[in-house]
Amino acid sequence: MPYRVTFVCTGNICRSPMAEAILRHHVAEEGLDVEVDSSGIDGWHVGEDADHRTVLTLTRNGYRSAHRARQFERAWFATYDLIIALDRGHLRRLRAMAPDEETRGRVRLLREFDPDAGGELDVPDPYYGSDADFEHVRDLVEAAVPGLLEEIRTALKDR
């Protein structure tokens, strides 16, 4: 059974699909048995493609994206090994939805995996920003990927 990771942001069109595509690329390169997807806390964009600036940023940097937005459902807690929130607001909402303490422990912030993040653990929402804001989000995601991969490798070894 594969290790399952999901990323969660607000509407599932900017940050979480970007993180999904980037992590999916890296786990495929390593041949890890990991499934990666994403969703949003809110359902505003359900069924829509990722924001065109997300797709452009990913494409410019060698990543592929095929995405349809969806809303995170409480029942999904049972299906994921790791649920990655993109900011503290998402973290609070996901932990409040979680059915028990063990499940709440599987909800983490992406930037927790970046040793250089310091106290700035939120990935800012680029939706109302420029292309540079989307590139900044990509930089933050890529900075967290090595630590996240290490977490996943450890979990896979412990299975």
pLDDT one-digit tens code per residue, 54-66: 999 999 999 998 8
pLDDT tens for 65-81 read 889 999 999 999 999 99
Check if 15 is active-site: yes
Q: Per-residue pLDDT averaged across 119-143, rounded?
A: 97
pLDDT band at 129 (very low <50, low <70, confident <90, very high): very high
Among residues 49, 122, 125, 133, which one is catalytic?
Answer: 125
Taking a C-beta distance cutoff of 8 angstroms, is the pair 153, 5 a contact? no
Does residue 123 have a pLDDT over 90? Answer: yes
Q: Per-residue pLDDT averaged across 45-55, rounded?
A: 96
Angle between helices 52-60 and 15-30 (to 10 degrees): 30
Check if 37 is active-site: no
Does residue 159 have a pLDDT over 90? Answer: no
* Domains of the chain and CATH, by start: 3-157 (3.40.50.2300)
Taking a C-beta distance cutoff of 8 angstroms, is the pair 140, 133 a contact? no
Sign of CA dihedral 18, 44, 71, 115: positive
pLDDT of residue 5: 98
pTM score: 0.97
Picking from 107, 117, 106, the residue whose alpha carbon sits closest to that of residue 142 is 117
Check if 9 is active-site: yes
Among residues 15, 24, 53, 111, which one is catalytic?
Answer: 15
